[in-house]
Amino acid sequence: MKENRASDKVGSDLIFVIGSSNTDMVVKTDKLPLPGETQLGGVFYMSGGGKGANQAVAAARLGGVVSLVTKLGNDIFGKQAIADFKKENIHTEFVFVDNEKPSGTALIMVNEQGENCIAVAPGANANLMPADIDRVKNLGEATIILTQLEIPMQTVQYIAVKAKRNHQKLILNPAPAQKLNEDLLEDLFLIAPNEAETHFLTGIRVEDAQTASLAASVLLNKGVQNVMITMGSKGVYFQNRHLQMKLNAPVVNAIDSTGAGDVFCGAVAVALTERMDWEPVLRFAVEAASMSVTRLGAQSSAPYRTEMMS
């Protein structure tokens, strides 16, 4: 019999997002510049970013009970970020302040097709260490822990060990792509890479459901329980030991793909706490991500639950 339940009941329905927070500085251009080339841009704007913060905002807007664990600088960017998190109803008790390093920043260029290129200065994100995770006293109460790779790898590995010890479901968005050791993979309830990250992790280029299945099998054989491969406008592929599924994305007018993967991950976390089956989880997350690419910005593009049809 196929297993089609996304999540069993584990404690209370809390989502802890552990990861980075940045201030994004964005320029919209006709096309992305080549090395050494200057492009005259159009719109410039600043907004909250960082994969951890993006995913926390997305999950909160979609109805999740969210705590964010991150580290900011003691500067104007950090103070603004905390104020913004509170406006989003995100619990900020464990948003730590670093008096040595500045808040993280990202420089982003977006072309007319919605494609982007990004350079990140991590700042205080690089100082979110295992000792900080020990300061999160109620982490063991989380139903879902969601993390990424814009914080130190030793911290991600420490989170994985704690989650496994507490029988919690850990979701890893392996971005930006880095080598993952086998012990970490064995601790994951779910991994959610995009096509480029999947190629980095498995050596397989994902072009369709068949190649996605081959790549997912590599990750499952390394101990991951569930694999979701996001494929941009082509949708998402899911696989575990019992189920394989490919869902297409709706056709939309994409203007900015920044943060779409983060919206997807935040939506998955919310859907899992609501005990959705796997197919509704995927549909909910794909719909949310597809809505986000029709808007500018990372956090600012995340949809609210009232906008969702699912």
Q: Which domains does the chain have, with CATH numbers?
A: 14-20+51-91+125-299 (3.40.1190.20)
Alpha carbon distance 229, 237 (integer Å): 5
Helix (H) / strand (E) containing 60: helix 51-61
267, burial (CB in 10 Å: exposed 0-12, middle 13-18, buried 19+):
buried
The answer to whether the beta carbons of residues 237 and 246 sit under 8 Å apart is: yes
Q: Partners of 66 in the beta sheet?
A: 15
Our CA dihedral for 103, 107, 112, 114, rounded to 10 degrees, sits at -50
Residues 176, 116: Cα–Cα separation, whole Å? 14
Q: Measured between alpha carbons, how far is 273 from 51 in angstroms, rounded to an integer?
A: 20
Give the pLDDT of residue 7: 44
Predicted local confidence at residue 6, as pLDDT: 46
Cα 177 from chain centroid (whole Å):
13
Please give the Cα distance from 157 to 99 (Å, whole number).
25
Nearest by Cα to 49 from 77, 76, 10: 77
183 as an active site residue: the answer is no
Q: Report strand pairing: 104-110 vs 116-121.
A: antiparallel
**Which pLDDT score, from 0 to 100, does residue 283 have?**
96
Strands (E), 52-168: 65-73, 95-98, 104-110, 116-121, 144-147
Residues in the chain with pLDDT values less than 50: 1-11, 310
pTM: 0.90
How many Å from the N-terminal Cα to the C-terminal Cα in the chain?
Answer: 27
| Given 24, 75, 187, 262, the catalytic residue | 262
Distance CA 229, CA 208 (A): 11
Q: Are 147 and 173 within 8 A, CB to CB?
A: yes
* Number of CB atoms found within 10 A of residue 195's CB: 20
Compute and round to an integer the Cα radius of gyration of the chain: 18
